Amino acid sequence: MAAGSFRRSIASQLSKVLDLPPENLIKSISAVPVSKKRHVADFQLSIASVIENSSSDCLAQDLQLQAQQLAERLKCDSVVSEISAGPGTVNFTINRELLAKTVLQQVWKDGSEYGVKSELFSTVPRQKAVIEFSSPNIAKKFHIGHLRSTIVGNFIANLKVALGHEVVRINYLGDWGMQFGLLGVGFQSFGSKEKLKSSPLQHLFEVYVQINKAAEDENIKKLAKDFFRKLEDHDEQTLSIWKQFRDLSIEEYIRIYKRLGVHFDEYSGESFYQEKAQEVLKMLEDKGLLQKTIKGTGVVDLSEKKDLSTVSTVMRSDGTSLYITRDLAAAIDRMNKHSWDTMIYVTDKSQSNHFQHLFQILKLMGYDWAERCQHVSFGLVQGMKTRRGEVIFLEDVLNEVRSRMLQNMTSTKTTKEIQDPVETAEKVGLAALIIQDFRGLLSSDYQFSWDRALQSRGDTGVFLQYTHARLHSLEQMHGNAELTDVNVACLQEPDAISLLQHLLRYDEVLYRSSQDLQPKHIVSYLLTLSHLAAVAHKTLPVKGSAPDVAQARLCLFHAVRSVLANGMKLLGITPVTQM
């Protein structure tokens, strides 16, 4: 990794002066973010991170002094051309030609693995991760929370795979419960086999809405209960109706997920864990963890003082299981089946309590691996409506974003030559949705705005796609760059240096996202990369420049496009080549 060889070189010099092993220093040396004020160093060492017993009350002027003293003891060499002290930091500027040569060679050589091969990841063990995400409820709205869960889970899975981990993607469907009693009765009254086959999600939802209007009727209530009881007793005819609902829904989900560029290794669901949930209740009873309340429900005491001040209800008074009981069964089953190192649940933050309880109960049951379960939560999205009104189905969102994008594209002059405008509009539109969603902390709520998401300038997914397409056509126009004979002395302009410095930082950004599973670090990196590229596109023309200058610039733009594409793919975006 380009940054890696520079970090190692700086660390080895520091280790002699500070008398510390170089590997202890590598993580304290970070690439400096590019500044609009222009000249910044390439790397900095934070003094506080290497001084032993540096307590937080260590005075700023002491750190400043120590930085100065350390900078004076270090010497420039063939790699480092300038060393200076900053506020509590020592700054290192890399030899400019070496910087250009190393970065370009590394991006060229590593291709799609640029950044992930960094030594920052060398101490991270390769693991097996199970990620549960998306998880819609059959016959209910696929609401915007499910869309967030889908794209966030997909990002985490992509990132882990890129870093060499093994990932199992699980979609845990809401495919069981009393609503299937109602749905069964509703289908017998209002259902149509043709509509079920042609648009299952839509039709089941309509049936569910209709029967719900009559759900207060005692007779309907009784019929629904009977239908669900038959389901639980494995009555063949009832089961085959349920199975048809489930299978046709999954078929349609798969088609829609494909539009999103998302796939799952396993479609699981609550229905899988009916029997196993009963086994869990038996285990809880055997371990003395299941307590009965006056109403006859079963609870697990989670309070510290064991005074029932915090309990989790795991059983109804009639002995049937609840959602959390089925989740317990699923977690245990996945451990047996996949023997994973980490399991991640991606849902909105309203379920934080549920997962706290889930992990606590698993721990009380003696499963130490509960420590390795993680809930990645996200905030709520307000204001997402299509032109027809409230969003009910994911497909409505995808169609809406595609048609709005297509409209925007047709109104610009350059769109006419695109081979497949509809598909391009879909990919650009998706990028717009994903970037608007990933720009902030996942846990924050945000107000959705079509206009803001689809702007072609500014910090949007449309701008990233536009930058990628523009750089791609630059390469098409001038032939592909060849790295072998690049004269790096031609890449010394400030705008070229800024791009090279930014490319240098990519591994650190990936590392940050891998630590906290937040996509915003990568988003902000790619937006800056695109803004820097837009400036350089104007100030460093390829056309009309001397051949060796043109060739060097083409190489630089190729490297930028390559890293931009890598980052976009991690986020779940398919880069377009025309726009």
- Residues designated catalytic: 140, 143, 146
Identify which of 435, 491, 490 has the alpha carbon closest to the alpha carbon of residue 460: 435
Contacts of 497 (CB under 8 A, 6+ apart): 96, 99, 491
Residue carrying structure tokens 């606590």: 360
- Tokens 């109602």 belong to 182
The answer to whether residues 265 and 160 touch, using CB atoms and an 8 Å cutoff, is no
Three-state SS string across 238-273, please? HHHHHHHHHHHHHHHHHHHHHHHCCCCCEEEEHHHH
SS3 of 460-528: the string is CHHHHHHHHHHHHHHHHHHCCCCCCCCCHHHCCCHHHHHHHHHHHCHHHHHHHHHHHCCCHHHHHHHHH
The sign of the dihedral angle between the CA atoms of 58, 64, 65, 68 is positive
Strand partners, 375: 345
CA angle, corner 385, sides to 382 and 386, nearest 5? Answer: 160
Q: Please name the residue that has the structure tokens 């309070």.
A: 303
Q: Which helix (H) or strand (E) holds 378?
A: strand 373-378
Q: Are the beta carbons of 26 and 11 closer than 8 angstroms?
A: yes
What kind and span of H or E run contains 68? helix 60-73
Burial class (CB in 10 A: 0-12, 13-18, 19+), 539: exposed
Helix-strand-coil percent breakdown of the chain, rounded to 5?
60, 15, 30
